[in-house]
Amino acid sequence: MKSPFNLSKPIAIGSDHAGFDYKEDLISFLEGKGLPFTDFGTGSRDSVDYADFAHPVAKSVERGESSLGILLCGSANGVAITANKHQGIRAAVCWGEELAKLAREHNNANIICIPARFVREGDAEKMVNIFMSTAFEGGRHETRVNKIACA
């Protein structure tokens, strides 16, 4: 798979309890593709706070330690809001393939946030595959993306 991301660096992945099963499925998906990853947790379906897993994923992408990030929670809103507090992070909530593609093409998103309670089994893998393989279009979108940062 050709990717605009440097996939020799690990992919950062994390979830809360609501996204745990899909996170485990995505880890198997990444392993099947031979892609390196860092699992920032959670490690079970026990109730946890999504920010405890979103911050480490975002920090890893922000610092350039990871090529991209994958975050999951029930609605994906909590992990997206948390991740987007970090400079240089553009975390996008995606619940379909077209949104995953547009998040990359138009917003140069570097973290995909998947709402586990609203996505069918198997769709998360499709979205991640599209996210990893879609390039940022630049042009008029680059002008807009460059206006996102507050600093």
Catalytic (active site) residue 86: no
Catalytic (active site) residue 106: yes
pLDDT value at residue 138: 87
State the catalytic residue, choosing from 17, 55, 73, 86.
Answer: 73
In the chain, where are the structural domains located?
11-145
pTM check: above 0.75: yes
In sequence order, the β-bridge partners of residue 21 are none
The per-residue pLDDT for range 68-102, each reduced to its tens digit, is 999 999 999 999 999 999 999 999 999 999 999 99
pLDDT value at residue 151: 65
The per-residue pLDDT for range 107-143, each reduced to its tens digit, is 999 999 999 999 998 999 999 999 999 999 888 999 9
CATH number of 11-145: 3.40.1400.10
State the catalytic residue, choosing from 17, 55, 94, 106.
Answer: 106
Which helix (H) or strand (E) segment holds residue 78: the answer is helix 77-83
The per-residue pLDDT for range 38-56, each reduced to its tens digit, is 999 999 999 999 999 999 9
